[in-house]
Structure 1
Amino acid sequence: MTTSWADFASAAPAHAALVRKRFGAHRHHVLATLRADGSPRVTGLEADISGGELWLGMMPGSRKALDLRRDPRFALHANPGAGTEMEDGDVRVAGRAVEVTDPGTLARYADAAPEGERPEVFHLFRADLTEVVRTYLVLPDMCLDVWRPGAPLRTLRRGNDDAPAREDP
């Protein structure tokens, strides 16, 4: 079973709106992939949420694309921006990248690029979501909204003491 951005947005609309807003605040984000030896690779990426999907477009032959071809697991962290206050929280998405090779889909993706930025040759992956997390503060607690396919949105709270995180009822 695969889980698209549209599936996530349908299951947790308010959470999806906040996550999308954070990704929309900046153009560049941070993608984590796995190298052949299992160590992490962290690189910049422009992610696109459109047509009910989270798309990951990459230059041809890029290391991150080759990583995803070999092992599709990834994490995508939204750019936190320059300020220290993140009123909409800190967000990340994890999942599996599914390479898109259909010529029609590739052409539509390229045609939707801004003027002067249309890629000629590129790798395109569609995200199969496995987890979406938003971290934010409700003083004195740090809160995590965690969504996984097939499960309801959970909110975990952790105080500044050594107690384990507790789940909101």
Structure 2
Amino acid sequence: MTHEARETRTTSNWAALTAAEPDFARTVEERFGAFTHHVVATLRKDGSPRTSGLEVRFLGGELWLGMMPDSMKALDLRRDPRFALQANPGPGTEMGGGDVRVAGRAVEVHDPAERARYAEEVEPPEPFHLFRTELTEVVRTHVEDDTYLVVEVWRPGVPVRTVRRT
């Protein structure tokens, strides 16, 4: 898929996922809520991937990414908004709730009122970068009945597609 084709891919916010697939959205939120720190992948200037630790928030129907000023991940997202986010798998090999990943575009928020609402809820250290996400895909992979590998994929405008593998 070309860069131009990716740019026209349909996006949605967290509220749209929650309205379309409430059980799936709740499971994904719970998975992210189990731990504070997660991993975000961004694209460096040369196009190679960069992974970084990150805290995320689900507030007001949005998935938010807050970052320290001039952090490399924030600078990456300013240049190319595409990202992939993976929930912390936790300790050991249990992966309770499965492996959860979100992909999309990060849109930096400059509006003072919107930033103030976020800061009131989260109390981030000042100054900070704030990005609202536009989702292109949410994936959950887990084991069912110790028999099946189950992959659930949601894309905007399409119901969750479930694939079971033995």
- Report the TM-score when normalising by structure 2: 0.90
Tell me, in whole angstroms, the C-alpha distance in 2 between the residues paired with 1:101 and 1:33. 20
Give, in angstroms, the shift of residue 113 of structure 1. Answer: 2.0
Match of 1:6 in 2: 15
**Aligned match for 1:131, one of 107, 115, 137:** 137
One-letter amino acid of the structure 1 residue matched with residue 142 of structure 2: Y
Spell out structure 1 runs of 4+ moving beyond 6 A.
none
Q: Indicate yes or no: 2:94 matched with 1:85.
A: yes
Tell me, in whole angstroms, the C-alpha distance in 2 between the residues paired with 1:86 and 1:42. 20
Deviations 1:116-151 (A, max 9, x none): xx3221110001000000000123221100000011
Tell me, in whole angstroms, the C-alpha distance in 2 between the residues paired with 1:128 and 1:87. 26
Q: Indicate yes or no: 2:153 matched with 1:146.
A: yes
Tell me, in whole angstroms, the C-alpha distance in 1 between the residues paired with 2:49 and 2:83. 10
Paired residues, number: 156
> Normalized per residue, which structure has more helix?
2
**Percentage of matched positions with identical amino acids:** 64
**Aligned match for 1:23, one of 27, 32, 49:** 32
- Partner of 1:56, secondary structure, is strand
Which structure has the bigger radius of gyration? 1
Match of 1:64 in 2: 73
Contact 2:40 2:51 (8 Å CA) reproduced: yes
Tell me, in whole angstroms, the C-alpha distance in 1 between the residues paired with 2:98 and 2:67. 27
Deviations 1:14-41 (A, max 9, x none): 1001000000000000000000111100
Give, in angstroms, the shift of residue 81 of structure 1. Answer: 0.6
- Partner of 2:29, secondary structure, is helix
- Partner of 2:76, secondary structure, is helix
Tell me, in whole angstroms, the C-alpha distance in 2 between the residues paired with 1:158 and 1:39. 31
Q: Indicate yes or no: 2:103 matched with 1:94.
A: yes
- Partner of 1:153, secondary structure, is strand
Tell me, in whole angstroms, the C-alpha distance in 2 between the residues paired with 1:103 and 1:62. 20
Uncovered stretches (5+) of structure 2, i.e. residues with no partner: 1-9
Tell me, in whole angstroms, the C-alpha distance in 2 between the residues paired with 1:66 and 1:86. 31
Structure 1 vs Structure 2 CA RMSD: 1.1
Contact 2:11 2:104 (8 Å CA) reproduced: no
